[in-house]
Structure 1
Amino acid sequence: MSYKNSILMGTIGGYRDRFHQFQPDRSFAERLDIARTIPRTHGIEPVYPQDLGADGSATKAVKDSGLAVSAVNVNVKTEGKFKDGSFTSPDAGLRRESVQYLKTAMDLAADLGSEMITVCPLIDGWDYAFQVDHIQQWRWMIEAFEEAAAHRGDIKICIEYKAYESKNHIILPTMGRTLHFCDRVGAANLGVTMDVGHALIAGESPGSEIAVAAEAGRLFYIHFNDNDRGADWDMLPASVHLWETLETLHYMRRIGYDGWVAYDVFTRTGDNAEAISATFEIMENLDRLLDKIGDGHLQDLIKCGQPQRSYNDLIRALL
């Protein structure tokens, strides 16, 4: 394992759905204390502005914790003012404010010793046909990220794409469209956060998308979790898609990925800090399984192109 483990700070805080609250709300200071106790933790992914404060006042607490920062997560979706969009809001003032969120987060990331911010534009999209002007939305997105990327070239902007939620259709729903968007913007510091769960609900093969993004020079960051492809359940890695998760790790090895991996894993039952600790152990065990199979053997199986042989060999490795 050559990558570094990071905790999304929301995963050790409150967790609720439309019906119940499953985990207690915790202050940022409480979550920092918990993160420090979880073995194998190399860093954290705090949220701007909810964790770090609109003025960045909580950066001192992060520094005092001794925890590295993998990326600053920019939240431009949950505040009420963003209900009609952030970077594509019909309100020009809100579009400017959304871009300023990115710029401020970039400055905070640099201050915290990180080289990245990550943003998931979940509120930018549409629900119905003829609800939005698709031409105008696309132009607004390009203009927003052109401005943000030019703010400082030493900080990478990672776009975390997703097919749906909060809108029925999100403007950047897939790896292919997101890579096309990055090329349209044209900034070298603009790339992708590849969330395994988001790739799954988009009908993608995560290992394939990693290969494509790496070839484009745009793979900056990875989030791991799992789901049943029906919704973004943020389950333990490989709990549903064992083979796809192994293939994803295999291609991370193939491309020599040694950056940050963050875990977007929530649990309804039990302790959520324990779930993150178990996640780290699961990933280590998956790496051991790849070692047991052997990279060379995997390459031979890929070259043979015969699934009946490949899966028999892989299953033998599990015995």
Structure 2
Amino acid sequence: MSYKNSILLGTIGAYNDRFHQFQKPRTFEERLEIAKTIPRTDGVEPVYPQDLGHKGEGVKALKASGLAVSAVNVNVKTEAPFINGSFTNPDPEVRAKAVQYVKTSMDLAADLDAWMITVCPLIDGWDYAFQVDHIAQWNWMKECFTEICAYRSDVKVSIEYKAYESRNHIILPSMGRTLHFCNCVGADNLGVTMDVGHALIAGECPAAELAIAHDAGKLFYVHFNDNDRGADWDMLPASVHIWETLETLYYMRKVGFDGWLAYDVFTRSGDNVEAIDATFEIMEDLDKLLDKIGEDKIKEAIASGVPAQGYRSLIKALL
């Protein structure tokens, strides 16, 4: 493994859906202390402002923990002002507020020696036909990120795309459109967070999307989890799509990705701390599976182009 493991701190706190609360609430300080006890933890991904505070009140505790920071996750979706959008809100004052959230997060990321923020514009999009002005939305989005990227060229701005949720349709739903958006903005410090689960619900092949993001020079950050492609269930990696997960890890090796991996893994049953510990172990074992199959067998399977030959060879290598 050449990558580094990061814990999304929200995964070891309370988790709510529309019907229930799963897991018990924990303070930011409690989650930091727990993160330090989980083997294979290289760092954490805190959320601004929920973890770090609007004025960075949580930075002192984070620095005192001794934990590295992979990126600062900017939340511009759950607070009341953003109910009708953040970067695409028709109100310019709300758009300015969203931009300021990102700028503050960039300053905090620099202070924490992370030098990267990740933002998922989940509230930006639409639910119905003729609900929004698509031309205006796209232009507002470009204006916001042009200003953001120009604010600090030394901090990477990584966009995490998603097809739907909170909106039925999110303005950046896929790798292709997100890379096009990055190209439109034209900033060297603007790139992509590829969430494997988000790629799956978008009907994408995660390994292929990772490869083209790398080719574009825009693969900044990767989140791992799994789902059934029906919804973003944030399940343990490879619990459903073991071959797709292995293929993604293989292409991470192939392109030489040595950055941070973070894990959106939220568990409804059992202990959520144990789930993160298991996630790290699963990822390590998946790497070992790739080693056991071997580079030659993988290349043979790809070169044959025939699934019957390829999978027979891959599976025999695991026996």
Where in structure 2 are the equivalents of 1:261-280 lying within 5 Å? 261-280=261-280
Counterparts of 1:63-212 in structure 2, within 5 Å, are 63-212=63-212
Letter in 1 for 2:180: H
Give the counterpart letter for 1:220 in structure 2: F
> 1:61 corresponds to which letter in structure 2?
A
Alignment partner of 2:44: what SS?
A: strand
Which whole-Å deviations, capped at 9, do the CAs of 1:183-222 have from their partners, x for residues lacking one?
Answer: 0000000000000000000000000000000000000000
> Matches of 2:220 and 2:127 in 1, distance apart?
30
- How many angstroms does 1:301 deviate by? 1.4
Provide TM-score, normalisation by structure 1: 0.99
Cα distance, 1:17 vs structure 2: 1.1
1:50-91: CA deviation from partner (whole Å, max 9, x where unpaired): 000000011111110000000000000001111100000111
Q: Any idea what the Cα deviations from partners look like across 1:288-307, whole Å, max 9, x if unmatched? A: 00001112321121111111
Percent identity over paired residues: 73
AA at the equivalent of 1:86: S
How far apart in 1 are the matches of 2:104 and 2:19? 35
* Deviations, residues 100-120 of structure 1 (Å, cap 9, x unaligned): 111000000000010210000
Map 1:159-308; keep pairs closer than 5 Å: 159-308=159-308
- Matches of 1:181 and 1:271, distance apart in 2: 39
Is 1:58 aligned with 2:68? no
Task: Provide the rounded CA distance (Å) in 2 between the counterparts of 1:209 and 1:174.
Answer: 9
Name the residue aligned to 1:23: 23
Aligned residue for 1:222, secondary structure, equals strand
How far 1:310 moved relative to its partner?
0.7
2: CA distance, partners of 1:250 / 1:126:
36
Structure 1 residue identity aligned to 2:205? S
- Alpha-carbon deviation of 1:315? 1.4
Q: Distance in 2 between matches of 1:266 and 1:312?
A: 34
* CA deviation map 1:110-155 (0-9, x unaligned): 0001021000000000000000000000000000000000011110
C-alpha separation in 1, matches of 2:141 and 2:181: 9
Residue pairs, 1:3-18, within 5 angstroms: 3-18=3-18
1-structure distance, mates of 2:260, 2:153: 19
TM-score, scaled relative to structure 2: 0.99
Gap regions ≥5 residues in structure 1? none
Specify the code of the residue in structure 2 equivalent to 1:161: Y
CA-CA distance at 1:313 after TM superposition = 1.3
Q: How many residues align?
A: 319
CA distance in 1 between partners of 2:246 and 2:109 (Å): 31
Offset, 1:316: 1.4
Counterpart AA for 1:233:
W
